[in-house]
């Protein structure tokens, strides 16, 4: 697994010091671990962005003052409007200690259902797993080529040796039937439909009227015949 190296520097703690760090296009961070004392650091904002948006497990080599730690990006905060990183936590990996982290999913293959006109919808793009540091995958590959229209793939369908922490019922991918779009009805078409309905209604009324007249004529003839018989 290709692990990026991040050059970090020590920093002072406190809100004022944190603002100064951010004003210099750097991000205040904390490095910690089971055998590592909590250490406040600062790293370039560009380096953190690359790690956040990298399509692989958030693992990095953090260098500071001649010391090196193999870490995972455990957590980070983003500005609610600009998405600029405001703070990050790095957890130092310890040999023999499992670590919990989020790993991207890499879907492979084109579903049969999509080839038949269906729409493939990727619901989840990552999984949370627990794993030993030496077994951390850059991605988890999932073959979806056999899915047909109406099929869904869930976490419980996966065949993997990793301890998955994501909910077992989480839907990962689904293939749905294509949506048939209908053209909107124009005003002219609506008027034609209304005229057609009016014509049908008038024809129905006319038929009822003719039927009524016919019945009345039959009744009159019957009455005349009765009178003659008398």
The string of pLDDT tens digits covering residues 76-88 is 999 999 999 999 9
Closest by Cα among 102, 7, 2, 85 to 49:
85
pLDDT value of residue 51: 94
Angle at 194 between CA 189 and CA 195, to 5 degrees: 95
Phi then psi for residue 89, to 5 deg, are -115, 130
pLDDT value of residue 193: 62
- Residue 134, helix vs strand vs coil: helix
- For range 62-68, the mean pLDDT: 93
- For range 129-149, the mean pLDDT: 96
**pLDDT value at 222 more than 50:** no
Please check whether residue 165 is in contact with residue 129, taking contact to mean a CB–CB distance below 8 angstroms.
Answer: yes
- For range 59-67, the mean pLDDT: 94
Confidence of residue 46 (pLDDT cuts 50, 70, 90): very high
Closest by Cα among 57, 60, 55, 53 to 43:
60
pLDDT mean across residues, the chain: 86
pLDDT value of residue 229: 43
**pLDDT value at 64 more than 60:** yes
pLDDT value of residue 180: 72
Angle at 146 between CA 143 and CA 147, to 5 degrees: 100
pLDDT value of residue 178: 86
pLDDT value of residue 1: 73
């Amino acid at each position: 697994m290709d692990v990026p190296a991040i050059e970090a520097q020590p920093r002072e703690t406190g809100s004022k010091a944190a603002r100064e760090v951010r004003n210099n296009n750097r991000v205040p961070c904390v490095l910690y671990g089971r055998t590592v004392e909590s250490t406040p650091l600062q790293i370039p904002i560009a380096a953190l962005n690359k790690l956040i948006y990298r399509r692989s497990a958030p693992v990095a080599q953090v260098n500071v003052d001649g010391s090196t730690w193999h870490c995972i990006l455990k957590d980070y905060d983003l500005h609610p409007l600009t998405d600029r990183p405001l703070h990050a936590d790095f957890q130092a990996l310890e040999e023999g200690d499992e670590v919990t982290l989020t790993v991207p999913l890499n879907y492979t293959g084109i579903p049969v259902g999509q080839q038949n006109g269906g729409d493939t919808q990727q619901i989840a793009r990552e999984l949370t797993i627990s794993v030993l540091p030496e077994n951390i995958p850059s991605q988890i590959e999932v073959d979806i080529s056999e899915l047909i229209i109406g099929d869904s793939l869930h976490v419980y369908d996966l065949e993997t040796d990793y301890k998955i922490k994501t909910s077992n019922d989480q839907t990962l991918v689904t293939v749905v039937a294509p949506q048939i779009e209908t053209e909107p009805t124009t005003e002219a078409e609506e008027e034609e439909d209304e005229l057609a309905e009016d014509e049908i209604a008038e024809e129905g009324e006319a038929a009822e009227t003719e039927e009524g007249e016919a019945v009345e004529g039959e009744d009159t003839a019957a009455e005349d015949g009765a009178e003659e018989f008398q």
